[in-house]
Amino acid sequence: MTELRVAIRVRPGSSRAGVGGTHAGALVVKVSERAVDGRATEAALTALAKALGVPRREIRLVRGATSRDKVVAVEGDEQVLTAALERLRDAP
């Protein structure tokens, strides 16, 4: 198991939730939850876990609790995670 750091850009209040594309080099995570009491952050971490195919407990917030730009640590197989991240970054 390896820990991989990933920069994400959270877009709270989106009409369509999903993970894909980039913004200034960070992976975009759209969530329908508003940025109130950490709900958007938790929703983003859950969505990212689902998109990467890892349990939610394998993802933790490293930096950016109150910012749209965050850094998360993901535990898992480095090759599998890297391939999944590349696929997500290339998605529209």
Q: What is the domain partition of the chain in residue ranges?
A: 2-90
pLDDT tens-place string over residues 15-69: 999 999 999 999 999 999 999 999 999 999 999 999 999 999 999 999 999 999 9
CB 5 within 8 A of CB 78: no
User: In the CATH hierarchy, which top-level class contains the domain 2-90?
Assistant: alpha beta
Whether 31 contacts 52, CB under 8 Å: no
Q: Considering Cα of 44, then 70, then 66, then 3, what sign does the dihedral take? A: positive
Confidence of residue 91 (pLDDT cuts 50, 70, 90): confident
Nearest-5° Cα angle at 91, 89 to 92: 115
The confidence score (pLDDT) of residue 67 equals: 96
